[in-house]
Amino acid sequence: MPEDTLPDTTPLFTAAEAEMRTGVPAATLRQWERRYGIPAPARSASGYRMYSPLDLAQIEQMQALLQAGVPVSRAAELARQEQRRATPAPAPPPPTPQQRLSGELLGALLRPDLERAAAVLSEAHAQFPVEEVVLGVIAPTLVEIGTLWARGEITVAHEHQASAYLRGRLMGLLDLAGRAEFGPRVLAACAPGERHEIGLLILVLLLRRRGVQAEYLGADLPLADLAAYARQRPADAVLLALNGEWALEPTRAQLVALRGLRVPIFYGGGLLNLRPALATELGGHFAGADAARAADTIVAALRPGAPHPGKQEEP
């Protein structure tokens, strides 16, 4: 195979051959290597230095710099900088099947082509379990839609249409999951002022698939109404989602309504992911940084025999 078809880092030349090709004595090359780390030849099975075409190029660059009056230490640093500039960045790994499907779903939603979006999700369900479709395809698509909207690359109309479509698909999955007849009951709602509900819908779906009687009560729910419902329909826990600062003050202002609920309150959502300590400030418990971990945390806390996370603390 011709030398120019081999990678520049392929060790090809002995020390004698490197000296012959560059005119730099082998002893000088060893000295540069010890003091400045350049060149950096490989070693053969017998322990002998083997120089690559890249090593020779660096040696020649060092020579040119030294002949121009550059001190040897500076010449070595400049040669290393040139190597870093010339070294191509590693190719990104190929997308996973879930990433490919998420990208296709995003493109279909933004065109918009809802028939194609449905076909992509059908393909995803044919390949993966429900949770993997939700967490590996739908959730990343939602995140990317939010990012594009925040950067001004799509309109509010695009964001609303895509979110509404995915919300409808999640509601369909919730219906398919049904409601367990046994197991702990968790009442889930978006906190006062919080209207971003898709993340909570995903968590409710995961809870149902783990055998929890998870009931979704909706977005922007006044805490007095939540408390009244919880007293009428006894629950084992309450789950509240807050995704932004806009929901924090209304929640704080209404916390008095939760006094007397003798069940643990779990908090989750984007705001809690950034500030987990808020859960304690609000008299509850942080569910987890993502839907899967939150579902596991809640199920573990409510499992018979598990240490009880405690009732709602007085705000």
Question: Mean pLDDT of all residues in the chain?
Answer: 89
Q: How far apart are CA 122 and CA 308, in angstroms?
A: 41
Q: Which residues of 65-78 are buried (b: 16+ CB within 10 A; e: fewer)?
A: beeeeeeeeebbee
Q: What is the pLDDT of residue 264?
A: 94
pLDDT at residue 80 greater than cutoff 90: no
Coil, strand, or helix at residue 243?
Answer: coil
Residue of 305 and 124 predicted with greater confidence: 124
Tell me the average pLDDT across 109-119.
94
Cα separation of 187 and 236, whole Å? Answer: 8
pLDDT, one tens digit per residue, over 34-75 is: 998 889 899 988 889 999 988 898 899 888 989 888 888 888
Helix (H, G, I), strand (E, B) or coil at 154: coil
* pLDDT at position 3 over 50: no
Burial (Cβ within 10 Å: 0-12, 13-18, ≥19) of residue 142: buried
Query: Considering the chain, what percentage of its residues have pLDDT values greater than 70?
Result: 92
Condensed to tens digits (0 to 9), the pLDDT of residues 249-260 reads 999 999 999 988
Q: Looking at per-residue confidence, does 195 or 305 come out higher?
A: 195
Local confidence band at 177 (pLDDT 50, 70, 90 cut-offs): confident
Token pair listed for 98: 């879930």
Q: Six-digit token pair at 82?
A: 């040139």
How far is residue 153's CA from residue 158's CA, in Å, rounded to a whole number? 10
Q: Which two tokens stand for residue 137?
A: 């395809």
3-state SS, residue 141: helix
The average pLDDT across 135-142 equals 94
Delineate the domains of the chain, giving CATH numbers in brackets. 3-86 (1.10.1660.10), 97-174 (1.10.1240.10), 181-302 (3.40.50.280)
